[in-house]
Amino acid sequence: MNRFKEELRRIPIWGWVIAGALYIGFNILLQVLVGTAPDFRAWPAWGKFLFRAFVPLPLAIYALFISYVYVDAKRRAMRHVLWTLLAIFVPNGIGIILYFVLREPLVLPCAACGALTKQGFAFCPKCGGALMPACPACRRAVETDWLNCAYCGGKL
């Protein structure tokens, strides 16, 4: 649950405001369109409350997902505007699902210059500093516990 709270904190204030505004706006729209219907007036009070509380909820959650996609894609050095537009316009939440399936790993700062680099890079593309151990023969990134390079077979 702690990880979930951390990810919820990444959603910016404007995302929460937009989700809240959509929830309230859709609730008002339901009141105007459905609340005046004679069939709806016959509903019990608890039924009206549940209807007004839960029908706008998926729209608000959808807005929170879209704002999370924007922030998370930016954090991962992806094309955040493109992914946000895909999350908005691909129907039925498929754009959001695609984002979570295809998103890239988090970028890491270089210890020498602070530039953001993708995971798996052996050297910083900006300053050339070593990011992780590299094979002396082929210069590819290797794990620290490897005895031989998985790419060229050389001894480490």
Tell whether 96 and 148 lie within a shared domain: no
Tell whether 135 and 154 lie within a shared domain: yes
- Report whether 67 contacts 10 (CB < 8 A): no
Q: Whole-prediction pTM value?
A: 0.76
Count CA within 13 A, CB hemisphere, residue 116.
8
Closest of 92, 95, 105, 91 to residue 66, by C-alpha: 95
* Token pair 């992806």: residue: 78
Tell whether 30 and 89 lie within a shared domain: yes
* pLDDT tens by residue, 124-149: 888 888 878 888 888 888 888 888 98
Tell whether 113 and 76 lie within a shared domain: no
Tell whether 47 and 77 lie within a shared domain: yes
Q: How far is it, in rounded angstroms, from Cα 115 to Cα 156?
A: 28
Domain that holds residue 18: 2-104
Of 88, 104, 120, the last residue of a domain is 104
Tell whether 120 and 48 lie within a shared domain: no
